[in-house]
Amino acid sequence: MKKPKAIIFSGYGLNCEEETKLAFERAGGEADIVHVNDLVDGLVSLRRYQILAVPGGFSYGDDTGSGKAYAHKIKNHLAEEIEKFFAADKLGMGICNGFQILTNAGLLPGALTYNDSARYTVRWVDLEVAGESPWLKGIRRITLPIAHGEGKFVGSKELLDGLEKGKAIAFRYVKGDICAWQELPANPNGSLRDIAGVLARGGRILGLMPHPERAQVFTQLPHWTTLREGCVREGKPLPKEGPGLQIFKNAVAYFK
């Protein structure tokens, strides 16, 4: 069986492409990092890929609004190719800045705006799965880190109701292990209805503000040194994987 192939966009200030590539590889897939201009110039085609991922970063420095400028680049030059890509039974993902890009490009519903604090915030959050998607199989709760200044999800009441009905809310911020441990509020940015991620096209496209690729190994967890003491004293082996890897494994499994 051939390994499913993911294309990971890069360029103009995207910056999480390498660790996102590694996550797909660790999950059993293959991944190529491709500069968006090489797609625009026709040097690379989306046809060869099953999974399209726009990773996190700071495309165009968030100037004129996060994700906006990169989304225009995609819309102006790649709209047709991307439409064809998703017309087939393929998967898409936008993480953080990638999520902002995909909402601006109209591939995911809603919009992301400034955190209520209007400040860039880095911490870990607890999430609960609220929708149905191949990306989310077997996950109910998960702990991942965030790092963003414009991560507040907004949309009209109709839009939000529609997402709920359509099982298209991927993740909600909830109070879980990390929030309890570090006494943090569940919702880090004021997102409406605590939405941390959404879905489109029957769950095939996932957008989320938290970074699953930053939770792919055990030693990335904020409390791993504490968990390790527990394991050692109970004589248990140390886990190797982090919780975020399952999302990538699900995507790879979809094509197997």
Partner 1 sequence: MPSRIDVQSSITDARAAVKEKQFEDLGFRGKVERVAVVDSYVIDAPFNQRQLQRAGKLLANPLLETFSMNASTPSQEFDWAIEIGARPGVTDNMGATAREVIADGIRRKFRTSEGVYYSQVFFVSGKLTRTDAERIAEGIHNPLIQRASVKSRSEYEHDGGFGVAVPRVKLRSHSGVRKVNLEVDDKELDAIGKQGIEDRGGRRACPPELQRRRGPLALDLDAMKAIRDHFRTLKRKPTDVELESLAQTWSEHCKHTIFANPLDEIQGGLFREYIKAATEKIMEKNPGFCVSVFKDNSGAIAFDDEYLITHKVETHNSPSALDPFGGAITGIVGVNRDTLGFGLGAKPVINTYGFCFACPENLRGANSKDTIELFRDKERTQKILSPRRIMDGVVAGVNAGGNCSGIPTPQGFAFFDPRYRAKPGVFVGTVGLIPRKRGGRLLHKKGARPGNYIVMAGGRVGLDGIHGATFSSVALDAGSPAAAVQIGDPITQKKLSDALVKEARDKGLYTSITDNGAGGLSCSVAEMAKEVGLPAGRQGGCRVNLDRVPLKYPGLAPWQIWISESQERMTLAVPKEKWKELFSLCRRRGVEAAVIGEFTDSGRCVVESGGKVVMDLAMEFLHDGWVRRELISRAVRVRHGEPKEMPSTAFNDTILELLARPNIASFAHISSQYDHEVQGGSVTKPLAGRGRVNADATVTKPVLDSKQGVVLAQGLYPTYSDISVYDMAASAIDTAVRAAIAAGAHPERIALLDNFCWCDSYNPERLAQLKDAVRACYDTAVAYETPFISGKDTMFNDFKGFDAKGKPVAISVPPTLLISAIGIVPDVSKCTSLDFKMPGDAIYLLGETHDEIGGSEYAVLQSERAKKDCLGNRTPRVDAERNMKLYRALARVLARGLVASLRDMPGSHTRDDFALFSESQGRVLVSVAPSKCKEFEAALRGNAFARIGTVGGNAVCIRGWDGSVAVRIGVRAALAAYRSTFKGY
Residues found near partner 1 in the complex (CB under 8 A): 10-16, 18-19, 22, 35, 37-38, 41, 56-58, 60-65, 68-69, 72-73, 76, 104, 110-111, 113-123, 145, 147, 149, 152, 154-155, 181-183, 190, 211, 213-214, 216, 218-220, 222-223, 225-226, 228-229, 232-233, 238
- The reply to whether 211 belongs to the active site is yes
- Closest separation between CB of residue 89 and partner 1, Å? 28
- The reply to whether 132 belongs to the active site is no
- Closest separation between CB of residue 251 and partner 1, Å? 18
Report which of 60, 190, 194 is spatially closest to residue 113, judged by C-alpha positions: 190
Question: Quick check: helix, strand or coil at residue 127?
Answer: strand
Q: Which is nearer to partner 1, 90 or 95 (CB)?
A: 95
Whether the Cβ atoms of residue 111 and residue 101 lie closer than 8 Å to each other: no
Question: Quick check: helix, strand or coil at residue 229?
Answer: helix
Q: Which is nearer to partner 1, 128 or 213 (CB)?
A: 213
- Closest separation between CB of residue 132 and partner 1, Å? 24
- Closest separation between CB of residue 59 and partner 1, Å? 8
Q: Which residues contact 234 (CB under 8 A, 6 or more apart)?
A: none
- Closest separation between CB of residue 88 and partner 1, Å? 28
Whether the Cβ atoms of residue 68 and residue 104 lie closer than 8 Å to each other: yes
Per the listing, tokens 């996190």 go with: 56
Tell me which of 128, 150, 179, 211 is the catalytic residue: 211
Q: Which is nearer to partner 1, 34 or 129 (CB)?
A: 34
- The reply to whether 213 belongs to the active site is yes
Q: Which is nearer to partner 1, 89 or 219 (CB)?
A: 219
Q: Which is nearer to partner 1, 111 or 255 (CB)?
A: 111
Report which of 152, 169, 151 is spatially closest to residue 160, judged by C-alpha positions: 169
Tell me which of 16, 96, 128, 179 is the catalytic residue: 96
What's phi and psi for 26, nearest 5 deg? Answer: -65, -30
240/219 Cα distance (integer angstroms): 8
217/180 Cα distance (integer angstroms): 22
Burial of 134 by CB count in 10 Å (0-12 exposed, 13-18 middle, 19+ buried)? middle
Which residues participate in catalysis according to the annotation?
96, 211, 213
